Amino acid sequence: MTADDRLEIRRSLEEQLEDLASREVSLTAEFCPDENEYASRVYDLHVTVSLRERESRQAARVQAALRRLADPQYGVCRECGEDIGLARLKANPVAEFCVACQAELEARPRAA
The binding site for Zn ion (CB under 5 A) comprises 77, 79-80, 98, 101
Residue 90 CB, shortest distance to Zn ion, in Å, is 17
Residue 32 CB, shortest distance to Zn ion, in Å, is 51
Instruction: Give 8 or 79: the residue with its C-beta nearer to Zn ion.
Output: 79
**CA separation, residue 27 to residues 6, 32, 69, 81 (Å):** 36, 15, 33, 42
Residue 102 CB, shortest distance to Zn ion, in Å, is 8
Instruction: Give 52 or 61: the residue with its C-beta nearer to Zn ion.
Output: 61
- 65-74 contacts, C-beta under 8 A, 24 or more apart: 65/13, 65/93, 65/94, 66/10, 66/13, 66/14, 66/17, 69/6, 69/9, 69/10, 69/13, 69/93, 74/1, 74/6
Instruction: Give 54 or 81: the residue with its C-beta nearer to Zn ion.
Output: 81
Instruction: Give 66 or 77: the residue with its C-beta nearer to Zn ion.
Output: 77
